[in-house]
Amino acid sequence: MDKPFAITLKPGSSLANHTGSWRTTRPEYVDRLPPCNAACPAGENIQGWLFHAESGDYEKAWHALVENNPLPAIMGRVCYHPCEGGCNRQHMDSAVGINSVERFLGDEANKHGWKFAPAAAASGRRVLVIGSGPAGLSAAYHLTRMGHKAVIYEEAPLAGGMMRFGIPKYRLPREVLDTEIQRLLDFGVELHLETKVTDVQQTMKDGFDAVFLGVGAHIAKRAYIPAGDANKVLDAVSVLRGMEDHDAPLLGRRVVVYGGGNTAIDVARTAKRLGAEESIIVYRRTRDKMPAHDFEVEEALQEGISIKWLSTITEAGMGERGDDIMVEKMALDENGFPQPTGEFERMEADSVVLALGQDADLSLLENVPGLVVDKGMIEIDAGMMTGHPGVFAGGDMAGNERTVTVAVGHGKKAARAIDAWLRGEKYAPLPKPELATFDRMNPWYYSDAPKTMRPVLDIIRRQSTFEEVLGGLDETNALFEARRCMSCGNCFECDNCYGVCPDNAVIKLGPGKRFQFNYDYCKGCGICATECPCGAIRIVAEEN
């Protein structure tokens, strides 16, 4: 090159200068576990499906959701959403309404008739699933996805377990339940109704390679209450089950429910809807000790249910017509346990409904060797297998945490373990990535946005009908709600790292492809990690 006067060197680019050699720490992209996902008993990848909902691609969002849970329209109604309890957004304003978006997606799928993605190639293996509650349905679904033939034997005339014979209609309309179950049957799950299994080992001989037990817990616990007229004392499970029959149960004008769980609340609310003038819950302890969820207690109180705290029923069916009961006042001792006070009160009650919990009926397992039953619950290992090889169990019969969501999670986990077992392997869950805690995030970047309120049905209507209490979101507010998600711990392609690097050392790979560091020039200043809104970059020490 002919250089101008007094110029001796050719101009060069600073790209020759690899400033990456200055680095003592290096940034790395990570995917952390969002707290919502960590808290979901069904193991949903919530952040993952919200990501698609954020862009308005609800079908993709639904497909991402049902990879873990085939019942979103049901879950969007009955799940107690522990995910929202974990959601990082609560440290900003309030948790993302995950459950309401889930319901919206489930309803969209039902409206448009979306189908599950095709299952894996058939393996030729057959698995018996006993019970069509959420545990059984979930296990059958995941087994089918993996290519196995899942066959459900169900004792009842209709599928769904406690979702049908327990949870009242005003919280879970039966069309929703039917639609999601039908989708599973269309997918290839085989269902035999009115088929009670009385001897597992015998039934296994019908050509099954493994069995999943999801028989739930249906035997009502009784408390000994002396009763002149025993007909007046009913149990909650049969009352609620009776709601599915042609003739609704006769409870009378004044109904007393004994217990403090969600079932007690549901029965009391059902009694009110059946026309009881007074529906009263009698509970031994105080409100803060009550196992029922606060929002359910609140809804019940709003509907005019009254609750007698610190009270036990000592006698029922008293008096000439047998419609009096005796209630004793309790007091909490220093350990928080209720103790009798000797103070009595006589109350009128056309019926007394006991809602004191349920035990599992394990008679079908009587002669299976190796099974361990502890306090009425079947013991299982980390892979959901009982003491008898090839016999797996989950749901209400296998745990203290008895919810639809836990049952769905059990079913999924068991399906994976059964799949491994059928291949002669042992199921080992993938190690979980570290938690995306709020202190790893940079909340500055998120727009201010309070939670969308779900429309609550008019209070009068819900006292007299079995119409659904909680309304759903529509397109606009579902999108709004989804976009409140901060994508904790997982890159959502906001371009911040690409923008804020003073050294141009972040390569943008294009939509959907995320980013990459150019370690030739990255000096390791760490601005990218500090300014990443969702905490998807970590800084690690450079090895010399």
Ligand X SMILES: Cc1cc2nc3c(=O)[nH]c(=O)nc-3n(C[C@H](O)[C@H](O)[C@H](O)COP(=O)(O)OP(=O)(O)OC[C@H]3O[C@@H](n4cnc5c(N)ncnc54)[C@H](O)[C@@H]3O)c2cc1C
Q: Which of 20, 27, 34, 535 binds ligand SF4 (CB under 6 A)?
A: 34
Partner whose binding site includes residue 78, from ligand X, another protein, ligand SF4, none (CB under 5 to 8 Å by kind): ligand X
Radius of gyration of the chain (CA): 29
Partner whose binding site includes residue 89, from ligand X, another protein, ligand SF4, none (CB under 5 to 8 Å by kind): ligand SF4
Q: Which of 161, 259, 338, 524 binds ligand X (CB under 6 A)?
A: 161
Least distance between ligand SF4 and beta carbon 484 (Å): 7
Looking at beta carbons only, is 114 or 208 nearer to ligand X?
Answer: 208
Residues that contact ligand X, how many (by CB under 6 A) = 37
210-213/190-192 β-pairing:
unpaired
Residue 46 lies near ligand SF4 (rule: CB under 6 A) = yes
Residue 135 lies near ligand X (rule: CB under 6 A) = yes
Q: Choose the stretch contacting ligand SF4; rule: CB under 6 A; options: 29-37, 207-215, 404-412, 492-500.
A: 29-37
Looking at beta carbons only, is 52 or 81 nearer to ligand X?
Answer: 81
Q: Which of 455, 461, 516, 540 binds another protein (CB under 8 A)?
A: 455
Judging by beta carbons within 10 Å of its beta carbon (0-12, 13-18, 19+), is residue 510 exposed, middle or buried? exposed
Residue 196 lies near ligand X (rule: CB under 6 A) = yes
DSSP 14: G
Partner whose binding site includes residue 527, from another protein, ligand SF4, ligand X, none (CB under 5 to 8 Å by kind): another protein
Residue 89 lies near ligand SF4 (rule: CB under 6 A) = yes
Cα 152 to Cα 159: distance, rounded to the nearest angstrom: 10
Residue 96 lies near ligand SF4 (rule: CB under 6 A) = yes
Cα 321 to Cα 170: distance, rounded to the nearest angstrom: 33
Q: How far is CA 492 from the centre of its chain?
A: 25
Q: Using alpha carbons only, what angle is made at residue 458 by residues 174 and 476, rounded to the nearest 5 degrees?
A: 75
Residue 16 lies near another protein (rule: CB under 8 A) = yes
278-282/254-258 β-pairing:
parallel
Q: Looking at residues 465 to 494 of the shown chain, list those that interact with ligand SF4 (rule: CB under 6 A).
A: 485-488
What contacts 327, CB < 8 A, 6 or more positions away? 282, 308, 311, 312, 313, 314, 344, 345, 346, 347
Binding mask 363-402 for another protein (x = CB under 8 A): ----------------------------------------
Least distance between another protein and beta carbon 455 (Å): 6
Evaluate whether 352 touches 234 at the Cβ level (below 8 Å). yes
Q: Which of 205, 288, 511, 541 binds another protein (CB under 8 A)?
A: 511
Cα 298 to Cα 338: distance, rounded to the nearest angstrom: 23
Q: Choose the stretch contacting ligand SF4; rule: CB under 6 A; options: 46-54, 185-193, 305-313, 409-417.
A: 46-54
Least distance between ligand SF4 and beta carbon 138 (Å): 22
Evaluate whether 203 touches 153 at the Cβ level (below 8 Å). yes
Distances (CA, A) of 410 to 204, 352, 380, 393: 21, 34, 11, 8
Least distance between ligand SF4 and beta carbon 85 (Å): 10
Helix axes 475-482, 46-54, angle to 10 degrees: 130
